[in-house]
Each structure stands twice: as structure tokens, then as C-alpha cells.
Amino acid sequence: MKLLITLLTFISLSLISFGQDDKSQGILDILSSKMKTQSSFYIEFSANIKNTSTGTNKSETGKGWVKSNKYYASFGDNTIISNGLKTWTIVKEEKSVYESDADEEDEESINPRKLMTIWESGFKNKYNKEIILNNEAIHVIYLYPNNPSSVDYHTIILYISKKENELKKVTIKTKDGTTMTYNLTKFTSEAAVDDLKFVFDSKKYPGYNVIRD
């Protein structure tokens, strides 16, 4: 369940400068500035969870809408909705809805809004190299948590388009040997989305058990 929520609940605004790499920080600052101009956006992504020691190798596709501090994401058969105050994680297999305060989200959880600003708080960063990915020049930047003992992952790798200054891929490596990879397959800026998208309607989920934190 924790792994599922980590995937769905597809860090945030104050930059931590201690120990930062000047080259990588400059690239991330440009990306942050670009993201701050977006009043809304839509993304599509593919995700893979792999752990060779446990034999885990799962792939899913997802999509998400973000508007200000609200977001809606679907991942496989599951959905997460946040209106900025409350967050609802809807798990189809369990027929359960987990409701929590939006400001109490797990630090390790990933949602569409956080995915697109994940580098902004709680990490040291280091420029690794430039590669060609899908015929495109890509900056590879490593993030290391400032407080590694408080999280289950040890490294996050960002792949950023050199030409477009857009995030293309994120890899999260956890301490138990799991690698989670998100490939951003589509990004639409200023996407039109109605605020009703971010409203949880229990009538759409008859028979579901709502569990409130």
C-alpha cells in the first residue's frame, strides 16, 4: 500500500543552497522559473518499479492535471485527487478511499505537482553529465537528500532537456534496492481544466470505504 501511494501521491518552494553544484543549480533555477510561470499544466507519464532481489518489475501509465496547489492524477486503476486542503487516494483493488490533509502528505510521496518541482527543497544536487536520450541532448543531475536517515530513498536522478529546459525523466533509487522510473511522455502548459476536476465526489465510488486520517 505504501509503495502504491508513493507512486500515486504523483518537495516545494524554498531552495537549499548548501553543498549545491553551481552548474546543476543554474539549470534547476531555470527549470523552476519556467514552472512558476505555469498557472496549470497536464502531463502524461509511464512508470516502472523494479527490484531484482524481489523479482518486482511492474510498469504502468498515468496522467495528471495540476492547477495552482490542486491536482488530479490517475495511475493504472487508481486515482488521487487534491483540492489543496484535502487529498483523496482512491484504491480500486481495495475499494478504499484514503482521505488526509493536503499539508500532511508523506514526504516521500510523489504527485504530479511534486514530480515537476521535486528538486526545489530538501536536496543537495550535483551535475553528472550530458547524454543523448531519444535523439535529444539531456542534462543528468543527481539529487541527494539532506537528511538521508529520514527517507527511504538515497538518490534521485533528473533528466532535463538541454534545448527546451523541460524535465523528461525521473529515477528514484531506494535503500531496499527498488528503482522507480518516471518517463514524461507529454507536457501541456496552461492546460484548460475545470476546478471540478479537483473535487472528490463520493457518489462516483459506491461501496468504497472512506478512511480518514
φ and ψ of 184, to 5 deg:
-80, 110
State yes or no: pLDDT of 19 exceeds 60: no
Question: pLDDT tens digits, residue range 44-71?
Answer: 999 999 999 999 999 999 999 999 889 9
pLDDT at 8: 46
Percent of the chain past pLDDT 90, that is, above it, reads: 68
Q: How many CB atoms lie within 10 A of CB 29?
A: 14
Q: Determine contact, residues 72/64, Cβ cutoff 8 Å.
A: yes
Hey, what domains does the chain have and what are their CATH numbers?
A: 2-202 (2.50.20.10)
Q: Which residues of 140-171 are buried (b: 16+ CB within 10 A; e: fewer)?
A: bbbbebeeeeeebbebbbbbbbeeeebbbbbb
Rounded to the nearest 5 percent, the helix, strand and coil shares of the chain are 20, 45, 35
Residue 208 DSSP code = P
Q: Which residues are paired to 74 by β-bridges?
A: 63, 79
∠ at Cα 64 (39, 131), nearest 5°? 90
- Backbone phi and psi for residue 158, each to the nearest 5 degrees, phi listed first: -105, 140
In angstroms, how far is CA 127 from the centroid of its own chain? 20
Query: Is the per-residue pLDDT at 125 higher than 60?
Result: yes
Regarding beta strands 96-101 and 123-133, do their DSSP bridges make them parallel or antiparallel, or are they unpaired? unpaired
- Judge whether residue 138 has pLDDT over 50: yes
Rounded CA-CA distance 34/69 in Å is 16
Q: Phi then psi for 199, rounded to 5 degrees? A: -105, 125
CB 74 within 8 A of CB 88: no
**Long-range contacts from 28-31, C-beta under 8 angstroms, 24+ separation:** 28/119, 28/120, 28/125, 28/141, 28/158, 30/165, 31/119, 31/160, 31/165, 31/166, 31/167
The whole-chain average pLDDT of the chain stands at 86
pTM for the full model?
0.81
The yes-or-no verdict on residue 183 having pLDDT over 50 is yes
Name the band, by pLDDT with cuts 50, 70 and 90, for residue 110.
low
